Amino acid sequence: MKASPGSSQLCPSLKSLSNKVGGMFCHCGSPNKYKRLDTKLERKLVEVKRGSQGVGNFKSINSIIMKFPQYKEELKKIRTVFEQYDEDSNGLIDREELKKCLQELQLRLTEEEIEDLFHSCDMDGSEGIQFNEFIVLLCLIYLLKDQPSSSQTTSKMGSPELEATFDTVIEVFLFLDKNGDGKLNKKDMVKALNDSSTSERSPAHITRSRFREMDWDRNGNVSFREFLFAFVHWVGLDTDEEMPITGSYDE
């Protein structure tokens, strides 16, 4: 998926994505079931935002769009990890496969945490995690887990390259989260889309449309989880998953 620097739309196909995933939220039940997880994510994002002291690599939404091809290539490398733990090669990671994956990645979670993450990322209710859902799941875990206390351990996931990719995705969210409360609202989107320059301001109806495309449960706020699913689609990962993957993340 490509977008020119001056484009007023982030992604023309996001409307269909919004309808599709909105239906999945209805299928999976009330969005309140995710409240516990989303609240944890919000607190963590507020903490990260404060720690960054407002310093970031992005100055405008266009600076993010121009790097979509780079983000796509980085995220595609996660498929190597996905295929390694999809032991029956059915395109889904079930609970047992997920537990093995988390163990290998040195991620120690309680059964309750695993269930919360599994259900919140299994958007179609298939009782299995697809590749794009797996990306979201790993990024959520990365954000939630604390940095190891041991002075000899500097990695939260055993893969600095993977962590660097997720750091970038989190930074994109924080750029959009102008008031730093760990979730996005319409004011955040208007400010982010119009920050680059007065000559590139997005029309109001475009800004509203972009926000609706992310706000799948229509509660007026966009959680980090909702944003991640939209971001994976923006960079075009779910449009050409059949393409060959090069490179891998090594522990």
In a domain, 70, yes or no: yes
pLDDT at 206: 61
Angstrom distance (rounded) from CA 60 to CA 142? 25
Q: What is the pTM of this model?
A: 0.75
Angstrom distance (rounded) from CA 250 to CA 162? 9
Q: Which domain holds residue 54?
A: 33-146+158-235
pLDDT at 140: 92
Please provide the size of the chain in residues.
251
More confident residue, 153 or 73: 73
Report CA-CA distances (Å) from 59 to 7, 74, 194. Answer: 16, 21, 11
DSSP assigned state of 243: S
CA nearest neighbour of 172 among 26, 70, 39, 63: 63
User: Positive or negative, the Cα torsion across 71, 220, 175, 213?
Assistant: positive
In a domain, 26, yes or no: no
Cβ proximity of 210 and 193 under 8 Å: yes
pLDDT at 65: 85
Number of other CB atoms surrounding residue 97 within 10 Å: 19
Angstrom distance (rounded) from CA 144 to CA 155? 14
In a domain, 194, yes or no: yes
CATH number, domain with residue 186? 1.10.238.10
Task: Note the pLDDT tens digit of each residue in 180-230.
Answer: 899 998 887 777 776 654 455 555 666 677 777 777 778 888 899 989 988
* Structural domains in the chain (count): 1
- What band does 81 get if pLDDT is binned at 50, 70 and 90? confident
Task: Note the pLDDT tens digit of each residue in 112-167.
Answer: 888 888 988 988 788 899 999 999 999 998 898 876 555 445 556 667 888 888 99
pLDDT at 92: 93
In a domain, 177, yes or no: yes
Cβ proximity of 231 and 184 under 8 Å: no
Q: Between helices 35-52 and 131-144, what is the axis angle to 10°?
A: 60
pLDDT at 155: 59
Task: Note the pLDDT tens digit of each residue in 39-64.
Answer: 889 999 999 988 876 667 777 778 88
In a domain, 243, yes or no: no
Highest-scoring range by mean pLDDT, 27-36, 88-97, 121-130: 88-97
pLDDT at 124: 78
In a domain, 114, yes or no: yes
pLDDT at 181: 92
Angstrom distance (rounded) from CA 122 to CA 129? 6
pLDDT at 135: 93
